[in-house]
């Protein structure tokens, strides 16, 4: 994020260039495109600053459609943020429709192909983020408002791309509570505003149960992350 003086200077430069850009646009020149597509970078959120006794459950990718995990999400009315890949519902969309329609979960953006976005140029990042946004919108009728970059890897381009593709924030995480293979990470002492990362893997139900128990132990309730991230 540039310093305020620098940002003001950039805005001034932009304002000065605008008439040229408009002329360029009228003349059909490609020069106007970069200026028109220069949105403010979105914030990056790994923890929400809130006094409410809440935590945020986020579940990524979506490959394993575990019925027990779905039952737990529905029974406990967990407002989970599901950062899904379009490929993970292409072969079975009913699993996620049930979670959205009968529960409180929302689908968020995790790109199309799960690349490290920092290896892509602006057009490549945009194809990944806007592509997933469009796929979610077509499938669920609800556009994602949060973008989780795969591996938590992002650069400045990712932050402007997120804005251009309808997201109001990049979301990483406070604690990864995913069991990877045989390794289950130690259960953290959760605090208000923490963001918990899980995955739809083969241990998703146990991991989710552990996360909900940790929240209970800390006197915290899962809340909808989208509502807590300001514009």
Which residues lie near Zn ion (CB under 5 A)? Answer: 60-61, 150
In the bound state with Zn ion, the residue whose beta carbon lies nearer, of 62 and 222, is 62
Contact by Cβ (8 Å): 230, 85: no
Minimal distance in Å, beta carbon 151 to Zn ion?
7
Minimal distance in Å, beta carbon 53 to Zn ion?
28
In the bound state with Zn ion, the residue whose beta carbon lies nearer, of 61 and 128, is 61
Which of 122, 196, 119, 194 shows the shortest CA–CA distance to 157? 122
Minimal distance in Å, beta carbon 110 to Zn ion?
6
Minimal distance in Å, beta carbon 150 to Zn ion?
5
Contact by Cβ (8 Å): 220, 55: yes
Cα of first residue to Cα of last residue in the chain, in angstroms, is 17
The secondary structure of residue 50, as a DSSP letter, is -
CA 141, CA 36: separation in Å to the nearest integer? 27
SS3 for 21? helix
Minimal distance in Å, beta carbon 88 to Zn ion?
10
Using Cβ positions, the residue closest to Zn ion within the complex turns out to be 60
In the bound state with Zn ion, the residue whose beta carbon lies nearer, of 38 and 151, is 151
In the bound state with Zn ion, the residue whose beta carbon lies nearer, of 53 and 152, is 152
In the bound state with Zn ion, the residue whose beta carbon lies nearer, of 104 and 114, is 114
Give residues with Cβ within 8 angstroms of 126, minimum separation 6.
Answer: 161, 164, 165
Tokens 């040229």, residue located? 20
In the bound state with Zn ion, the residue whose beta carbon lies nearer, of 63 and 228, is 63
Minimal distance in Å, beta carbon 229 to Zn ion?
19
CA 146, CA 169: separation in Å to the nearest integer? 5
Which of 167, 218, 165, 181 shows the shortest CA–CA distance to 196? 218
């Amino acid at each position: 994020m540039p310093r305020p003086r620098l940002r003001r200077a950039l805005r001034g430069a932009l304002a000065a260039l605008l008439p040229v850009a408009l002329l360029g646009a009228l003349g059909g020149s490609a020069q106007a495109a970069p200026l028109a597509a220069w949105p403010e970078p979105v914030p990056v959120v790994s923890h929400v600053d809130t006094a409410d006794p809440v935590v945020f459950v986020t579940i990524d990718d979506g490959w394993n459609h575990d019925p027990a995990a779905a039952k737990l999400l529905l029974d406990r009315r967990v407002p989970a943020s599901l950062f899904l890949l379009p490929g993970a519902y292409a072969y079975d969309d009913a699993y996620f429709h049930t979670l959205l329609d009968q529960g409180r979960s929302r689908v968020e953006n995790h790109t199309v192909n799960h690349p490290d976005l920092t290896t892509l140029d602006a057009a490549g990042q945009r194809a990944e983020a806007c592509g997933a946004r469009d796929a979610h919108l077509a499938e669920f009728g609800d556009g994602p408002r949060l973008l989780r970059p795969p591996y938590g890897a992002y650069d400045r381009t990712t932050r402007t791309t997120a804005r251009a593709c309808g997201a109001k924030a990049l979301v990483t995480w406070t604690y990864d509570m995913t069991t990877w293979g045989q390794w289950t990470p130690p259960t953290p002492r959760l605090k208000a505003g923490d963001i918990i990362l899980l995955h739809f893997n083969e241990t998703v139900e146990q991991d989710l149960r552990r996360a909900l128990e940790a929240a209970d132990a800390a006197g915290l309730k899962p809340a909808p992350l989208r509502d807590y991230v300001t514009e």
